Amino acid sequence: MSEDKDRGGFFDTGWRPSGDVHRDEDGRPHDHPGVREDVGLGVRASRALAMHELLVEKGVIGEGEVDEMTEAVNKRVPSNGATLVAKAWSDPEFRTKLLEHPKETVIESGFVPEHNADIIVLENTPEVQHMVVCTLCSCYPTQLLGPPPDWYKSFSYRSRAVTEPRAVMSEFGLELDEETEVRVVDSNSELRFLVIPRRPDGTDGWSEGQLATLVNRNSMIGVAAATEPGTD
Amino acid sequence: MSAAAAPKLEFSQGDRVHVKDMTPPNHHRTPWYIKGRRGVVLEFIGMYVNSETRAHGDSGMPELPMYRVEFEQTHLWFDYAESPSDKLWIDLYEHWLERAE
């Protein structure tokens, strides 16, 4: 087993799972100058390590369970949502299915909703712009968009999104016509919302893979437009 | 959401409702800014675990009817300065709603 195998796991603290920590015969971790893993093992990391060892020892969790979970969390990235949006742009049948049976379609597409939360998919059009916020906390479709960005969790966004949504969108570079109706969606229940942004002009004949590169994270929250071709 | 038999529902699409203006001591997920405000039921969205009791260690059962309710932004914020057509959508448990005239 390589010395580096477990680097960057649990909390990214640089600690290594049970059994890999170098200890003296009396049980104290010993110095290993130049070995990154043993440098800067702070109070929290030490505590997490001790907890992990105990939980494994007592059989509460399996040896590799935390690593598996970490791996699963790392697979939650905005390109998951972008894949769905690009497919919905390209395939009208899939678009209808995604809008009408969102959870089933998301699961069929290989994504597992966290906490078994329901998914609602909302489509932006020239007439309607949906924009998602969680005023109470930070509810977010992490399996499709990855962890929420800091601004999404900020007090500022959570209050301004409901009181001046157009001003917020404008700061994200999106200027809407007054005729476009804004629907702010406050995500306060056991549901997560994914927004399908408007497909940019000049993308006729693009493949799903090409289209997906235009589907940025913010456009799937509804605060911004999809990326214009040739501007990324 | 459960796939249980269709529940008896108090409200249906298009009903005008008030959000009850109450502040129970327990956890609840009805934000203050819609309390006492008038909206329109967009749809019944399903039966959901009661997060108000589950937050206190209960199972959260039985599941309760939840509705998506639409509010006029200009009704929520007296100084709303953006477009008069703007809306707010939020999901609310049935027990937070009462029929409005």
CATH of the domain at B94: 2.30.30.50
Same domain flag for A39 and A152: no
Partners of residue B73 in chain A, C-beta under 8 Å: 165, 182, 184
A18 has a pLDDT exceeding 50: no
- Tell me the pLDDT tens digit for each residue of A100-120: 999 999 999 998 877 778 999
| Closest chain A C-alpha to B95 CA, distance in angstroms | 14
A230 domain-assigned: no
User: Residue B5, Cα to own-chain centre: how many angstroms?
Assistant: 21
B74 domain-assigned: yes
| Closest chain B C-alpha to A218 CA, distance in angstroms | 19
A62 domain-assigned: yes
CB atoms A182 and B87 under 8 Å: yes
Query: Any chain B CB within 8 A of the CB of A166?
Result: yes
What does the pLDDT average to over A90-108? 96
For residue B79, give its domain range.
Answer: 16-99
| Closest chain B C-alpha to A164 CA, distance in angstroms | 7
Same domain flag for A62 and A90: no
Query: Any chain A CB within 8 A of the CB of B1?
Result: yes
Query: Any chain B CB within 8 A of the CB of A57?
Result: no
What does the pLDDT average to over B89-101? 95
For residue A106, give its domain range.
Answer: 76-221
| Contacting A residues, span 187-206, partner chain B, CB-CB under 8 Å | 188-191
B43 domain-assigned: yes
Total number of domains constituting chain B: 1
Domain boundary residue among A73, A100, A121?
A: A73
- The predicted structure's pLDDT at residue A26: 59
Query: Any chain A CB within 8 A of the CB of B29?
Result: yes
Query: Any chain A CB within 8 A of the CB of B42?
Result: no
Same domain flag for A192 and A210: yes
CATH of the domain at A149: 3.90.330.10
Q: pLDDT confidence of A5, banded at 50, 70, 90?
A: very low
Instruction: Let me know: does B89 contact B69? Beta carbons within 8 Å.
Output: yes
**pLDDT top residue among A178 and B15:** B15
Total number of domains constituting chain A: 2
- ipTM for the whole complex: 0.92
- Please enumerate, as own/partner, the contacts of A200-206 that have beta carbons within 8 Å and a separation of 24 or more: A200/A225, A200/A226, A200/A227, A200/A228, A200/A229, A202/A228, A202/A229, A203/A89, A203/A229
- The predicted structure's pLDDT at residue A8: 41
- Tell me the pLDDT tens digit for each residue of B26-41: 999 999 999 999 999 9
A31 domain-assigned: yes
Suggest the residue from B43, B73, B75, B96 to mutate for an interface test with chain A (most A CBs closer than 10 A).
B73
Is A156 one of the annotated active-site residues of the chain? no
CB atoms B80 and A163 under 8 Å: yes
Domain boundary residue among A73, A98, A114?
A: A73
Return d(Cα A141, Cα B31) in angstroms, integer.
20
B3 domain-assigned: no
Domain boundary residue among A52, A73, A94?
A: A73
For CA atoms A99, A100, A102, A107, give the dihedral sign.
negative
Helix ranges (H only) for chain B are 51-54, 73-76
